[in-house]
Structures are given as C-alpha cells and as structure tokens.
Amino acid sequence: MNQPAPLYYLHNFNALINTVYSLYDDLITNEERHFYQCFSSLNTNAQALLVRLLSRKGAFFRTQKLRYNEISDIPRAIDILLGCEFIFRPLTARIEELFPVFTKAEWLKVINEKGLHACKKDVLKGYLSEGDDLLPAILAASCDNLIKLNCRDIFNTYKLLFFGNGRQDLTDFITRDLGVFRYEDYLVHKQSRFFNSRQQLDNMLHYYAVQEEFQHLKAYNTPELVSLLSRLPDLQAAGGESYVDKLLNRRIQGAYIQIARQLERLGSLDTALSIYRLCDLPPSRERQVRILHKLRESDQLNKLCKAIILDGSEAEKRVAKQFIAKFKQTDKASSKAYKPPFEVFELKQSEQRVELALAAHLSKHGACFYVENQLFLSLFGLVFWPTIFADVQGAFTHKFQYKPHDLSDVYFTDRRKKEISQGWRRLEKWLAQPDLALAFFNKKQGIANPFVTWVEGLEQVLTLALQNIPANHFEVVFQRLWSNLKENSSGFPDLVLFPKEGGYTLIEVKGPGDRVQSNQARWFEYFAEHGIPHKVAGVVWLD
C-alpha cells in the first residue's frame, strides 16, 4: 500500500478547487472566486493549516492545540489566514459551540463551584448560562486563544460542485492514493459537468443544508417533522426538465419519504399519507397502500391498487395484489403464487455457512459455487461496462465515481440507447468467443463497477457460465435488470451448480426457519416463465 506524502491533503485540496474553478468559473459567486484566488496566493504553511482546519469537525479551534509536524510556523500561518479573513477571532460564542472545545478542568475554573470535581463533564454544562460572558472567562482559564473558521460554507460549495453530492469528501482522494479503490478512466470535462445554472447549485446546497438534520429524525415529534419538511426545497421548484433538476427532485422525494415513514411510526397516518401522495418515487405508493389498509379506506385502497397493477413495478404490483386479497378476505391471490421446485438436503452439522456446506455437498455432482448476486450482476457489469461509463452529460463530474450519478434514474437507459445496443452485440460475441470476455475481465480487474464484485474465483465462475448458460437466458435476465436496475439487482439464488453432464441450475438455500423473500420470489416467477433452471434447497442438519 502506498504511503501518502506529508502534504498529501493539500495536494488533494488543490486538485479539488482547481477542477471546480476550471469547470464552473461561470457559476461561482465573487466571494467564491475570491476564496480561490486568495487561497492560491497563500504560502504553503497557511494553505496547509486552512485545509487541516477545514478537514476537522466544528468551527472553533484553540491555537495552542494546533500542532502539525509538516507545518513549520503555525503562528505565522494563523496571522496570514486572519489577514485573508478565512478565520477570525470570535468575540462571543454559544455554550454548545464552546463547551466541547475546552476540558472539564478548565470549565471547573470558570464555574468556581465546590463539589463538582467528581461529576462527568456533561453535568457541568448545567451550571453555565448563555447570559454569562463565557468566552473571556474560558480563555483566561485555559490560557489560550480561539479562532473560528469563516469559509466552511464556501468549501462545502466547492465540494458539492466537485462531487455532485453532499456525501463525499477529501477522504476519497486518500483511498484512491492508498490503492484501496481504483476507478475507471472516464471523461470529466466542462461539457459534461453536473450543474449548468447557479439556481441548480443553490437548490442543491439548500437541500443538503436541511438534510444534515435527518440524522436526528427519530428524536423528532410530528410538528417538528412537518416543520423539517417545510424547510426542504419545494418539489415543484426542483421539477425542471434538466438532468440535475430531476435528480434533485428525486433526492427531495427521498427526504419526504423518510419524514413520512417516521410519521407512520409515530402514528400520524393521515399526515404521512398526505406526504406520500406528493411523491412518485418508490416505495411511496406501497406505503400509501399499507396506510389505506390500516385506515380501512376500501375505495381509495382499491383505486390505488388497480392503478399500481396497471403501471407499477413488479414489486409494487405484488404488494397491490396482496392487499386487494387481504381487504377482500380471500386467499385467491396467494393460492396462485408460484412455488419453485423444492428439495430437502440432510447435511451433517457444520460450522460453515449453510450455503457453503451445501455447495461442498453438491460438488460431487459438478462445480458448485456460492455466488448469490455476483454471477449475473458481474457479467452484466462487464458486458455493459462501456454503457455504465459512457460520456453522458452530468453522469461523471469527478474521478472518484464507481457509477454514474443517474444510474438509478428511470431515464438512464433513454440517455444511452446506442451504448446498450452495442452491449447486446458484445454479449453475443462473448458467448461465441469466451476468450474475449476473459480478456476484458483481466483488463478491468480491480476497477470499481457498481455491478462487478471482484472476488476470488469470479473468473472461473464466469468461464463456466459462458460455456454452460444459454444465450437467451442471459438475455432475459439482463432485460429484467435493465427494466428496473434498483429493484432487480438483488434476490438471485445463492448457488450455481454446473453438473458434470453440462447445463446449470440456480439454487436458493434455506436453513431451518428461513423463507423466500419477496425479491427472490419475483425472480423465481421470472425464471419459471423463461425456462431458467432453479430450485429451493431446504437444508436439515443431522445430529
């Protein structure tokens, strides 16, 4: 593993802001432009110190606690940053901001109460008041000075422009540099950038600013949840036709659904229902069905279920049929449910996972592997690799993406029809000449892909699959994946068996008490419809 250079973080920070400035110089504000230009003019020590501060939590820092071996003159660096107004010396501060920065012993000097030395630090907060002039007192008690960051919001804007989301940060540079992750060499250029207007950027910044509160969602009551919802960007404002507008709309809907789900848990069903009705993102309609069933709203329930059966996804349709049957108090729907072939296997008690134990048992009949989702998804990811990493506007905005931004969006395939068509032809060639597939496998091995799991033995499994699985079976499985990547990317059987006499069988392993999950059941129905060999193996442990 590569060891980072002492100023690795500064190099990465410069790479981030330089990329943003080159791609978005027309969208950033004068203040954001000044930040870039002023930072670029600083000496190395001042730059390094600011990046160190921006990489830490909080906004307040004690100057005597700032110790970094690679920064030679920290006091001078502080003075330079003060001159640029990237930091400042605060005159006041709230208790919540100050309290974590100083030690229990230092706060005891400020409180000056007897009998508190045995208390935990958090207890001391109750002896402090916002009305007190705490900052001078604690600075005197600690014999220290305090500085506060003045540019975190600007840095957050640069990060959002670079990553296109609020989750990633400079640690992604580190994992790449250490060799933990490798990324595809896709194109990132101004024509394919993520944002194309300042309004798009401001809407996304607004969303992520509110989204920070979602980590405390379980502690909120109903009025607080409704208030939180009102602070999110309006769905209509984010409902434009551009790619970014649609993506923001999806993210906001996801937040709406999180809030509605918590309202359900609190028993505020009517409020939750009204929020779900604002969303078309799954599982909004499924949750509406469940609430209407609880409320015994038969007319609304039947109307919604019929609409879902007409245009819903497989998962939604399955739920709709189940609830129509429940409400009518009939078991007709369940009686028609497909039941896959079932075989019982009696095995000696083993410390292995039940799947591995059965795979070992079946190996006498041929090559058997514990693959779960890996087999079909990995080959899918290899076949459609150029599709996944195609140069599409807004799909790739930085060099740390293992998937395009729009992979889960319904319009993903519409934006890549040509590449998908080429993928089908590639599959045909690979099935005729498996060596081509293996050559591509070796070329891409280890590079992050949302579908490919680079596990030991994958090459052997794919080789046998290309030799034994008919072309039309791959085609129908891949077609179902393309129909709904998010919904259909899980639920594949645990094992694949390649018998000595040829062919293959997909086997779902169930130990005592296990049952077939809904996503697995949908795959079994699809396998039966298309003649794909499959079964469920019930394992019974022998004493």
Query: Starting from the edge strand earliest in sequence, which strands make up the sheet with 366-370, in order?
Result: 342-348, 534-542, 505-510, 495-499, 366-370
Q: Which of 138, 130, 132 is nearest to 104 (CA)?
A: 138
pLDDT band at 399 (very low <50, low <70, confident <90, very high): confident
31 sits in which H/E element: helix 30-41
Q: Which two tokens stand for residue 384?
A: 């459609």
Looking at the chain, the domain(s) classified CATH 1.25.40 span: 186-335
If we measure between CA atoms, which residue out of 65, 74, 67 comes closest to residue 45? Answer: 74
pLDDT confidence of residue 404: 93
Cα–Cα nearest to 538, from 335, 340, 334: 340
Over 374-409, what HEC string results? HHHHHHHHHHCHHHHCCCCCCCCCCCCCCCCCCCCC
CA 38 from chain centre, in angstroms, equals 34
Q: Rg (Cα) of the chain, in Å, rounded?
A: 29
The rounded distance, in Å, linking the Cα atoms of 204 and 248 is 7
What order of strands is seen across the sheet that includes strand 87-88?
60-62, 146-149, 87-88
Q: Is the pLDDT of residue 51 over 70?
A: yes
Q: For residue 423, what are the contacts with CB-CB under 8 A and spacing of at least 6?
A: 383, 384, 386, 387
Residue appearing with tokens 């160190």: 52
Per-residue pLDDT at 373: 94
Report angle CA 15, 451, 4 to the nearest 5 degrees: 30
Strands annotated E in 45-119: 60-62, 87-88
Contact 146, 139 (CB under 8 A): yes
Residue partners of 224: CB distance under 8 A and separation at least 6: none
Task: Please give the Cα distance from 540 to 510 (Å, whole number).
Answer: 9
Point out which residues pair with 368 in neighbouring strands. 497
Element (H, E) at 478: helix 471-483
CATH code of the domain occupying 186-335: 1.25.40
Residues 470, 410: Cα–Cα separation, whole Å: 29
pLDDT over 50 (residue 335): no
Residue range 385-404: mean pLDDT, rounded: 91
Three-state secondary structure call for residue 184: coil
Distance CA 515, CA 508 (A): 10
The pLDDT value given to residue 27? 97
- What's the CA gap between 355 and 308, in Å, rounded? 36
**Crossing angle of helices 198-211 and 243-265, rounded to 10°:** 20
Closest CA to 187 of 333, 389, 329, 338: 389
CA distances from 459 to 32, 55, 183, 438, 489 (A): 49, 40, 20, 7, 20
Question: pTM of the prediction?
Answer: 0.85
According to DSSP, residue 535 is labeled: E
Least confident of 112-121, 159-168, 227-236, 275-284: 112-121
Which whole number is the average pLDDT over 148-167? 95
Residues 121-141, mean pLDDT to the nearest whole number: 79
Mean pLDDT to the nearest integer, 34-58: 97
Strand partners, 540: 346
Name the range with the highest mean pLDDT among 98-107, 237-246, 433-442.
Answer: 433-442
Q: Which of 164-178, 363-377, 457-471 has the lowest mean pLDDT?
A: 164-178
Residue 300: phi and psi, rounded to 5, are: -65, -40
Q: Give Cα separations from 263 to 249, 272, 274, 316 (angstroms).
A: 21, 6, 11, 21
Q: What percent of the chain is predicted at pLDDT more than 90?
A: 69
Phi and psi for 377 in degrees, rounded to 5?
-65, -40
Residue 40's pLDDT band, with cuts at 50, 70 and 90, is very high
Confidence at residue 95, expressed as pLDDT on a 0 to 100 scale: 86
For 71-94, give one letter per residue: b (16+ CB within 10 A) or e.
Answer: beebeebbebbeebebbeeeeebe
Distance CA 35, CA 420 (A): 43
Q: How far is CA 474 from the centre of its chain?
A: 28
The residue to which tokens 């002492």 are assigned? 6
Considering the chain, what percentage of its residues have pLDDT values greater than 70?
96
Q: Is residue 148 within a helix (H) or strand (E), and if so which, with residue range?
A: strand 146-149
With 60 as the cut, is the pLDDT of residue 463 above it?
Answer: yes
Q: How confident is the model at residue 333 (pLDDT cuts 50, 70, 90)?
A: very low
DSSP 338: -
